[in-house]
Amino acid sequence: MELTFSIGWLFSILGNVIWYLLIPGAILVTLVNSERKIYKNICVCFPCGFILFSFVSFLGYLTNASLESIKTVILLINVVGVIFFLYRARQKKIFSYPPKINIYSDSFKDLILLNVIIIGLFVISLYSEWYPRGDASIHLQGIQNLISEKNLVFPFYSLFDYPIIPDHTYDAYYVLLAMFNMDSGISLDIIWHYSTPIFILFVPLVSYDLFRSLSDDRKLVRFFIISFFICSTTMPGLLNATLTDALVYPNRFYFYLILPLMLSVSIDYLKKGHIKSLVLSILCINTFFFVHQSGFLFTLLLLGGAFILNLFCKDWRESFKKYLILLIFLIVSSLPLLYLKLSPNLSFIQKASDDIWKSHYRFVEFSEGFYAFPIGRYGKWGMLLALCIAIYLFIRKRKDNNSVILTTSLLTASIIFPLLIVFNPIIVPFLGKLISYPAIVRMLRVPMYSCIFAYGFYILIKDIKILANNSALSKSIKLFSVIAVVYMIAITQIADRDIGHKVPIISEIVKQIPSGSTVYSDQMTCSDMAQFKKINVPIIKFNGTIDLVPINEKKIEVLHFFSNDSDENFVREVIEKYHVDYVVLNKSKFSGRIKLILNKLFIKVYENKNYSLYQTPD
């Protein structure tokens, strides 16, 4: 079943983004300025807004506040912030002088390029279809259940005993999407689908802020931007993550929209020693715990790795103290939230470190107790090329000025240290028990491939003086070439794709079931239903090799319930045991005797070609 696309969906989501993120973000940026230029402040309004929203949500969790009270707090922040901004603008006479636009300036060229990239990513993302199962089902369950509660509680699975989702305790991102749903009235699955093209509008801006921090060379920055677009749209296997169809997922959201700001403000502190940048970096690293804690690990991996490599560079003592202060402050400030998140996550880590993951990831066994991830499954030639380029850049630039050394150290650390961990048979067994195997393999997302490839290519063509021709004709040809490449990739990506919103046919059944009902069905049907409405089900389908909640007994019970070996007494016993309100029969999987039993015992209230819905007697 497919719903016709409505542009109103996009405008509604964008309006919520402006209200909950951009306005609060502009307020935070104004307060924590650290002498950043205006364009850099504009670029980071989105992640800064989420930082502020995250801490408001965190206080809501601690005080068991209602979702309505979160909306009230955001209203107060926005009103007070706008008044404060207007007051400052009047003091500095910001509106007295119209902005001067120089079409020949580097900033204007960057603006043109950014808009080309933004439009390309938006179009690709808009035509990227969504998948209503796997992780999406679990996330939508958590958000649906959060909305159904009057007060802010930890998100939980739609199972009978309401187990919490351990890696999403204190989750601010769930609260944000819940707000979108409550304010817009649009169904949550539509918000989930079309948030990606809206969020992706801000990815090039946040990335641009990071690229400008990495280098003062505007030509190199443009190479970074172009390379980022090409890599993110054509190399998902190498990046170990997709962007244009999955930015709404928490593990992409923090990676593409929060982590770049974290690195940008850290670089600003390491270069200039601004205390406000240090404060913002502390806020950033703690925000990861409200979305996905892997951001905390990635930050320490990148900055810690750059710190180690910096020891091999010229004048390393000049930046040694700043690195040390930054890392100490980041770690110490994160300890309280790390403890709060770790407590409910211990069982999750234990499950995600089970030996069954070894066969799932096809570990290479060197000897008993020594194993690692197989390099052949993860774009080995691309990684090898990036590794060679990064090492070459580091060796070539390690005697340059501190700014260049910082950039090459960070880029080199981003590729060397993840590879040393993921493919290390000594580290993987130990670290797997500490942070889980999925957390380790996600480190393959850390390498900054787009920057490494762009930097290497830039050095190559600069050495052979291809960039020497700066005539107006040459610049025009380069600009139109970039535009042609971007939109050719975009057209290729959206070929044979549909802009509409496809929903499983089970959604027709869900409409007939009141919210809060207890529903009995098979595993996949239960998962499909729970993402569309707050219901209680016996089992769900987890996205992984094992169930993160013990449901084996219920799996056996469900299979027996719908099998031809079932009988009326057993069916009645199960219905009474769990106080079941409705039974959903998946006719493509089960038929025969169970259908006769259900027709005899219960009332059929709805049916389509795939499912039958039965209501149990009071």
Q: pLDDT per residue over 174-218, tens digit each?
A: 999 999 999 988 999 999 999 999 999 999 999 999 999 999 888
3-state secondary structure (DSSP) of residue 267 = helix
Q: Which residue in 302, 320, 470, 443 sits closest to 383, CA to CA?
A: 443
Domain count, the chain: 2
- Which token pair is 264? 């940008």
Q: What per-residue confidence (pLDDT) applies to 475?
A: 61
Last residue within a domain, chosen from 430, 458, 492: 492
Cα distance between residue 451 and residue 455, in whole Å: 6
* Residues 538, 485 share a domain: no
Residues 382 and 468 in one domain: yes
Highest mean pLDDT among 127-141, 213-227, 579-593: 213-227
pLDDT of 491 > 80? The answer is no
Residue 468 and residue 557 share a domain: no
CA distance 178 to 146: 7
Structure tokens at 295: 């951001």
Of 467, 492, 517, the residue at which a domain comes to its end is: 492
Looking at 492, 517, 546, the residue that finishes a domain is 492
Q: Are residues 343 and 445 in the same domain?
A: yes
Contact 171, 290 (CB under 8 A): yes
**If pLDDT is split at 50, 70 and 90, which confidence band does 280 have?**
very high
- Domain that includes residue 51, residue range: 7-125+137-492
Q: Is the backbone of residue 365 left (phi > 0), alpha (psi -120 to 50) or beta?
A: beta
Residue range 596-610: mean pLDDT, rounded: 88
529 vs 168, 514, 535, 591, CA distance in Å? 21, 12, 8, 20
Domain for residue 184, yes or no? yes
Q: Are residues 399 and 525 in the same domain?
A: no
Residues 115 and 65 in one domain: yes
Same domain membership, residue 81 and residue 29: yes
Q: Which of 309, 303, 310 is nearest to 334 (CA)?
A: 303
Q: What is the CA radius of gyration of the chain?
A: 26
- Is residue 2 domain-resident? no
For residues 131 and 193, what is the distance between their CA atoms, to the nearest angstrom?
A: 9
Clarify whether residues 260 and 395 are in a common domain.
yes
In-domain check, residue 430? yes
Q: Is 445 a domain residue?
A: yes
- Per-residue pLDDT of 559-592, as tens digits, reads 888 888 888 889 889 898 888 999 999 888 887 7
Average pLDDT in the chain: 86
Burial of 31 (0-12, 13-18, 19+ CB in 10 A): middle
Residue 57 exposure: Cα atoms within 13 Å on the Cβ side: 29
Is 219 in the same domain as 323? yes
Q: Are residues 432 and 533 in the same domain?
A: no
Asked whether residue 1 is assigned to any structural domain, the reply reads no
pTM for the structure as a whole = 0.90
> Are 441 and 562 in a shared domain?
no
- Predicted pLDDT of residue 73: 94
DSSP 8-state class, residue 20: I
Cβ neighbours of residue 46 closer than 8 Å, sequence gap 6 or more? 17, 21, 22, 25, 202, 205, 206, 257
497 in a domain, yes or no? no
Distance CA 402, CA 400 (A): 7
